[in-house]
Structure 1
Amino acid sequence: MRNPSIASVIEKNKISSDNALTFAIDLQIYDIQRDEFVETIRLVNYVNNLQIDGQQYIRFPFSFDLQEDAGEIKNVTLSLQDQAGIILPYLIRFRGAVGSQVNARLITVMPDNSTAVVDFAESFTVLSSSSANYVTSLELGSENPLSRSCPARTQMKDRCSFRFKSIECGYEGSLESCDLTLTGKNGCRAHNNSKRYGGYPSIALARL
């Protein structure tokens, strides 16, 4: 993980300060079965909601636990106090949210108590998850580089290789899902986004 900024360290070590340090997270839910982005959940571990970079973050108690075992990759456990059952349905529906992305941000809350600035951020992938006694736990870690395909993109005739709503996809409309086809009922043409289709419809099919 990258070191916090100098300003963050100074604030953290002050006996008294008008600014508070805390964490905010972007939980980007990903449907690994359908290979598509679903939704971003924005939470902040603070006493009230906050505006961060123009986005509304909802107050929600959570904590990080760093585990370092000799000879093993460093993993982080994110524990969310989910008494209202807000996070658990996503785990049930999307296979434990495995493969989803968590962007953790260390933030400084301004004296107005409603806005915050980001001091540093780190991204993790959800490796596994569990839920018990109203606590949802996500094991976070870096993606194993040996599991990545090379090249990263595969040329396919009838399937887009871009993640839905990614930078490459470029879709910014109101539809919440895509079947990654060109001509399907929920495909790129249905989204008026065929120019950004990441497949290769001109590939000829081999006949044996």
Structure 2
Amino acid sequence: MNSLSAIAKLEKNKISSTGAWLVLIEIQFQGETIRVVNNTEDIEWPAGSGTIWVAFPFELGEVNENSDGELPSLKLKVSNVTRTVQQYLEEYAGGTDATVILRVVMSEHLELETPELEETFSVKSTNTNAQWATFNLGPNCAMTQRIPPNKYMQNFCSYKYKGIECGYSGNKMSCNKTLTDCRAHNNSVRFGGFPGIPGAGGLYV
């Protein structure tokens, strides 16, 4: 469970407050990042950083969970009246490889660099109509990624031939990426395989 900062607790316990909790949405496409805030005016957060969050209409749905083992999902609806968001989706293949970061900050304490809440999501699918661009979000966590991220092979080097990790700078034009060939190149100290893996298969994933 996320815990509130001391300043947030003081604000929460006030009988009345002139400030508000602001939800910031950062959508990271492969070549562009857009930042919006649920506010009546643009804000700079953190204060003094030069990072501007544009006041723009959006809605967050409820987290959907079920008992069938499916990962939880969340809908983000961003105004599409001006077609601004749709242009991004068309340019970046529907935005399905984008990342969405949700943050909550206090309007009275924009100088704080750490948000009160921060969650990161992956965009699973998108759709648009005349009013909304809808992002279907899923968890950006280890459950959706290969662990470990690479294959560990006994007799196969994963390094690019003559690349930085390989380091070979001799005259041989090719390598079949085995330890035997690496030794023939007099470069076995840079071999990118794992000869110590036991078993005939020699493969860990």
TM-score computed with the length of structure 1 as normaliser: 0.63
Where structure 1 has 5 or more consecutive residues not aligned to the other structure, the ranges are 31-37, 159-181, 183-196
Report the counterpart of residue 206 of structure 1 in structure 2: 176
Structure (1/2) with the larger helix percentage: 2
Structure (1/2) with the larger strand percentage: 1
Contact 1:25 1:44 survives alignment (8 Å): yes
- Counting only pairs closer than 5 Å after superposition, residues 124-143 of structure 1 correspond to structure 2 as 124-143=121-140
Residue 39 of structure 2 corresponds to residue 46 of structure 1 = yes
Report the counterpart of residue 65 of structure 1 in structure 2: 61
The two structures, once aligned, show a CA RMSD in angstroms of: 3.1
Q: How many residues align?
A: 158
> Aligned AA for 2:106?
T
Offset from partner CA, 1:122-141 (integer Å, 9 cap, x none): 11111111101220010111
Shift of the alpha carbon at 1:105? 0.5
Q: How far apart are the structure 2 equivalents of 1:103 and 1:145? A: 16
> Aligned AA for 1:61?
P
Report the counterpart of residue 87 of structure 2 in structure 1: 89
Give 1 or 2 for the bigger CA radius of gyration: 2
Q: How far apart are the structure 2 equivalents of 1:70 and 1:119? A: 27
Where structure 2 has 5 or more consecutive residues not aligned to the other structure, the ranges are 152-157, 178-205
TM-score computed with the length of structure 2 as normaliser: 0.64
Residues 11 and 63 from structure 1, CA distance in 2 versus in 1: closer, same or farther, beyond 3 angstroms? farther
Offset from partner CA, 1:138-177 (integer Å, 9 cap, x none): 011114645523442574528xxxxxxxxxxxxxxxxxxx
Residues 3 and 145 from structure 1, CA distance in 2 versus in 1: closer, same or farther, beyond 3 angstroms? closer
Identity, in percent, stands at 22
